[in-house]
Amino acid sequence: MMHTFLSATNLADLTGTSLATAQKWGESGVYPYHKNEKGKEGFYMEELTDVEPVRMMLNTRWEEEFHVAPLRDYTSVELFAGAGGLALGMHLAGFRHVLLNEMDAMACRTLRRNQPKWNVLEGDIHQVDFTPLRGKVDFLSGGFPCQAFSYAGKKGGLNDTRGTLFFELARAVREIQPKVFMGENVKGLLSHEDGKTLDIIRNAIAELGYTLVEPRVLKAIMYQVPQKRERLILVAIRNDIYEQGFRFKWPDPYRRVMTLRDAFFSGELFDQNVPQSEGQLYPAKKAHIMSLVPEGGDWRDLPIDKQKEYMGGSFYLGGGKTGMARRLAMDEPSLTLTCAPAQKQTERCHPTETRPLTVREYARIQTFPDYWEFEGNLNDQYKQIGNAVPVNLAFAIGRSLIRLFNEIEAQHPEQSQYEEAIRAGQEMLPPQLFELDLFDLHEQYPVGANIINNPPLQGKKIDNSDLDDSKNVLVSLVPDPYLEPFTNHRAKAYFTGKKFPSTVKLNKLFYLMPYTKGKGIRDLYLIEVARVGTKHEFVETADENDFRLVFEIKFVKQLFEDYKPIKLMIWRTFTDTNLRAILSL
């Protein structure tokens, strides 16, 4: 039986107990204690079936939920959008944003750079009139900053939220009347002012005509995020819908805890190692101190004289101060990211190198895809990433919300505003994402069976008049180890990663264009066959059951004299378009 190792630190985080308590469980035999291949002590998840968070991960329906797709385009509004962590997660789940509001100019530039079709409204939310959207938007969400609330009111409702940004979120809900809305905030809101603040929010939501689902703190490490971040999630359903029996089900967790190794290297989370990027540097004196801290350690691991030197007056104060001179561990999730990786109180030093985390490392810990680029100077970029909701956490919540909307839609079909716009010849929203499950495909198409059968070229020399510019093209990143045959037009096959996201259904694909990192596209291939295969066909050391989508391809022609840059807009490595758009580059 295969065992999934769980460190004592991760068990403590999952259960909300201290590390000392988790270690005591192992040392006293409450749960069997083991050493992994690196000599680290911990537990096997399969032996912790009476620990609720672990049991949830062992019995998860994550894979099933991952393939939830919207029955139609569900429209949404995003408030306090920041750099787009929550917005991107919701977009990937299937929501189509009609408006995003954000006050920070650099964050707005980031949103526009990565999603040019999003309607980003830059400015103070107090000045935004949402009434034109009334009845036209399905869903509203936002991570409202939490300022002080008034406790003067007798009932503690909307009036007591005046002057706060929650009041502006509530105003948007009142003016738009979405079917469902969601707010997210820090875990501390749950207990703020002995629960009075949350009571005010509950009463305010009731005044709006919505039923609040019992709020829940979600731990990001349970949702394919390599970071110990916790967020309070508030979901509210409009009363007329709630009274018909529609309920929100929280997302199932991922099957294991992700670590910095997952974030920084090719594997389940990313198809390639973390790209190089800018990052802060330590002054020489601090670099020397940090070089003495072991992986996973902090100031307490320094020699006593160095402790006193680095900590100064803080050395003599109480408390653990474990964020100071903190070096992360490669085989653990990151601590919660802050807005700057080198602050003395909240240090985030790279696990094996003596430096702060880079921008791209920061972004990967928040599960932003590598194509998502951040505007502004270095401090602006760190701030945007540190303030974001992890994309994978938002994606998981978004899929659960899509499931709820699908249940509503099944009983009350409603035409999307955007379907009407498309018929009227207006601009379409970004298209729906189709995510294939290769295990399901393998059941339908055994190895060797063809999913696509396009007519072969039969040795014909092709010129532009022979090309069908209406046909769909898949533009696919070719990782460096497999690039050589594509460089000189000898490539016969292309195999995908473990996941295959596309905005075109598989059987509609016709051409393939290899994308070379740092260069772009140049050559056109015909997809003659698409089938389920395995990575083992191409890499001898790979698992024979590592299913992949395999395109058997044939070189058609070199479309451009030199490489043309093109942005890969779809999640992870793939994007698709049609040949007409490619020829217009």
- Enumerate residues 6+ apart whose C-beta is below 8 A from 318: none
User: 3-state DSSP call for residue 401?
Assistant: helix
What is the distance between the alpha carbons of residues 181 and 238, in angstroms, rounded to a whole number? 8
Q: Which two tokens stand for residue 152?
A: 């003067």
- Enumerate residues 6+ apart whose C-beta is below 8 A from 317: none
Q: Which residue has the tokens 């409009």?
A: 238
Residue 194 amino acid letter: D
Kindly report the length of the chain.
585
Q: Which two tokens stand for residue 572?
A: 């992870």
What is the distance between the alpha carbons of residues 29 and 424, in angstroms, rounded to a whole number? 69
Using alpha carbons, select from 265, 427, 281, 431 the residue that is nearest to residue 353: 281
Question: Mutual orientation of helices 196-208 and 165-176 as an angle, nearest 10°?
Answer: 20
DSSP letter at 269? S
User: 3-state DSSP call for residue 512?
Assistant: strand
What is the distance between the alpha carbons of residues 188 and 217, in angstroms, rounded to a whole number? 10
C-alpha torsion 356→268→363→218, nearest 10: -100
**Sign of the CA dihedral with 255 first, then 258, 261, and 262 last:** positive
Of 108, 146, 339, 349, which one is the catalytic site residue? 146
Using alpha carbons, select from 231, 255, 227 the residue that is nearest to residue 329: 227
C-alpha torsion 14→16→21→24, nearest 10: -20
> Phi first, then psi: what are they for 190, rounded to 5°?
-60, -40
Q: Are 176 and 140 in contact (CB under 8 A)?
A: yes
- Enumerate residues 6+ apart whose C-beta is below 8 A from 222: 14, 53, 56, 57, 253, 254, 257
108 is catalytic: no
What is the distance between the alpha carbons of residues 16 and 27, in angstroms, rounded to a whole number? 19
C-alpha torsion 250→251→255→259, nearest 10: -100
Catalytic residue ranges: 146
